Amino acid sequence: MAQPLEKVDRRDAKLALAHLFVAFAALALGGFAGLLQTLVRSGKFELPAGISYYTILTTHGVLLGLVLTTFFIIGFQFAAVSRTTGALSDGSRRLGWIGFWMMTSGTACTAFFILTGQASVLYTFYAPLQAHAGFYIGLALVVVGSWVSGFAMFAHYARWRKTHRGQVSPLLAFMSVTNMVLWLVCSLGVAATVVFQLIPWSLGLTDRVNVLLSRTLFWYFGHPLVYFWLLPAYMVWYAVIPKVIGGKMFSDSLARLAFILFLLFSIPVGFHHQLLEPGISPFWKYVQVVLTFMVIIPSLMTAFAMFATFESYGRSQGATGLFGWLRKLPWSDARFFAPFVGMLFFIPAGTGGIINASHQLNQVVHNTIWVTGHFHLTVATTVVLTFFGASYWLIPHLTGRVMTKAMNRLAIIQTIVWAVGMTFMSGSMHFAGLLGAPRRSAFSTYGNSPQALEWIPYQIAQAVGGTILFIGIILILVIVINLAFFAPKGETEFPVAEAAAPYERAALALENWKLWIGLVVALILIAYTVPIVDIIQNAPPGSKGYKLW
């Protein structure tokens, strides 16, 4: 007899779906802004009606970098937790909805001030650029709302552990909790600068702001932020993809260890974004760069585990030779194909990251559009394609529908369109950056100076890529709307892989949260205490706010 499918509770499904809808709405608006940016930067197009380039760029960065990611991740994790550890309690679900509405109203508030041109400070809102206080207040609501949702997940996980003493928790629940711990610890930094520095300053309660302190607190958050984006993609790779291809997970304990290493080494490293910032001693920059490079270990562990899963599956299907197993993979299944293409893009993306974090090479690429090229490979391709791939089973699972063959084919096309568009756009950003083209600049030709004219061919290629990508955005929206509202009714599986070997005892030790959180705090104190005391004690007079747009 067929086993009933293990499903996300219907009430939890609604909560998860609400998050996904906001995420895809952000993708629609933010994607359009992205298209406009590439057109402006080609030097062949100007924004109508006096709209500022920086308004558009702030919209794009906030909606895609902050809103799309956070909403998708929290929605996905609520579904993953409910699927693997059972329906949320009424209390946890209520917390989830409170978190959702706080984040949504915060987003609306922030978006209002951006779109009315009162907050063109870009998504990093670097002081001394000063936005309307409503921009920061909205952001604070988004962050605090995400904490409320995090507490809902923690409470649910704690309840599961109480009723399952001595058992190893399901992998997806463990990973979701790890990611929310990472998020909670790092977003304390951005909350501190927003609440204690930027809000009083933008309200006029204080006149001046300590610029270096606020940037340091921002990057204390900003680097782990990228791991907060990446870890849910890794959840899909480790715990879902092996099931999608019909194989088994290479090792459950290895996956858990990798997540713990990401938790340890993604926070005490923010200075690698401030390598060219005066006021931080080279010694502390060096310490944080060394810690940065530690993250290569869990990254290579992940790459190894994924390819081990693929190869063992292929060989179990009778593949021979060095690469024969490649032919056994389900290339025509979009649930596999989209995340797999994401993985491939992570190879150049990660390599670029090592370049950025190296002090000497950083001087070549710092603040050039190379950096923008880099994170369109990491977040806008690896992460986003994995999220798209997850949506192809998650949305129909939650709405009680099935993906048709036609939609699957469209999803394969979507993936190819995205890969081609991004190769053009991100590739030319990398090259133009090496030639010195700045990022975040409304100017393209700089009055036809010879140096700027060298960049124009790349910026035209960038616009070609951006246009192809925008087609990709339309395709994914068509698929998502179909899966949510129009696809045939039916049951879709939420795939969760089994480990190749039964649980190892090591997995239990990896749930020693006191130990891991203690280590996280210790590493943060080592990396940040002395420089932050120095930044506060030896601060120059603070800066007044500037509105340069």
Select the residue interacting with ligand HEM from 57, 80, 437, 480 (CB under 6 A): 57
Select the residue interacting with ligand HEM from 22, 38, 174, 532 (CB under 6 A): 38
- Three-state DSSP at 510 gives coil
**Which of ligand HEM, Cu ion, none does 223 bind, CB closer than 5 to 8 A by kind?**
Cu ion
Q: Is the dihedral of CA 227, 228, 230, 235 positive or negative?
A: positive
Rounded Cα distance between 386 and 411, Å, is 12
Rounded Cα distance between 360 and 370, Å, is 15
Interface with ligand HEM (CB under 6 A), residue total: 27
Active-site residues: which are they? 223, 227, 374-376, 439-440
Q: Give residue number: closest CB to ligand HEM.
A: 34
Smallest gap from Cβ 273 to Cu ion, in A, equals 5
Is residue 439 at the binding interface for ligand HEM, with CB under 6 A as the rule?
yes
Is residue 235 at the binding interface for ligand HEM, with CB under 6 A as the rule?
no
CB neighbour list of residue 130: distance below 8 Å, 6 or more residues apart = 121, 201, 202, 545, 546, 547
Which residue, 129 or 260, is less far from ligand HEM as judged by CB? 129
Which residue, 223 or 430, is less far from Cu ion as judged by CB? 223
Which residue, 358 or 441, is less far from ligand HEM as judged by CB? 441
Select the residue interacting with ligand HEM from 469, 480, 483, 524 (CB under 6 A): 469
Select the residue interacting with ligand HEM from 16, 17, 22, 35 (CB under 6 A): 35
Q: Is there a contact between 225 and 186 (Cβ–Cβ < 8 Å)?
A: yes
Instruction: For residue 185, count other CB atoms closer than 10 A to its CB.
Output: 19
Alpha helices in 358-449 (DSSP H): 359-365, 369-377, 384-399, 405-434
**Which of ligand HEM, Cu ion, none does 202 bind, CB closer than 5 to 8 A by kind?**
none
Which residue, 369 or 507, is less far from Cu ion as judged by CB? 369
**Which of Cu ion, ligand HEM, none does 348 bind, CB closer than 5 to 8 A by kind?**
none
Q: At what angle do helices 211-235 and 171-192 cross, to 10 degrees?
A: 170
Is residue 499 at the binding interface for ligand HEM, with CB under 6 A as the rule?
no
Is residue 37 at the binding interface for ligand HEM, with CB under 6 A as the rule?
yes
Buried b (16+ CB within 10 A) or exposed e, 126-162: ebbbbbbbbbbbbbbbbbbbbbbbbbbbbebbebbbe
Select the residue interacting with ligand HEM from 76, 113, 123, 262 (CB under 6 A): 123
The residue assigned the tokens 């009055």 is 447
Q: 519 pairs with which residues across the strands?
A: none
Q: Contact positions toward Cu ion, by CB under 5 A?
A: 223
Smallest gap from Cβ 3 to ligand HEM, in A, equals 37
Select the residue interacting with ligand HEM from 17, 119, 199, 379 (CB under 6 A): 379
Rounded Cα distance between 327 and 249, Å, is 19
Q: Is there a contact between 228 and 71 (Cβ–Cβ < 8 Å)?
A: no
Site for ligand HEM in 61-100 (CB under 6 A): 61, 64-65, 68
Site for ligand HEM in 292-351 (CB under 6 A): none
Q: Could you report how far apart the first and last alpha carbons of the chain are, in Å?
A: 66
Q: Which residues bind ligand HEM (CB under 6 A)?
A: 31, 34-35, 37-38, 41, 57, 60-61, 64-65, 68, 122-123, 369, 372, 376, 379-380, 384, 439-441, 466, 469-470, 473
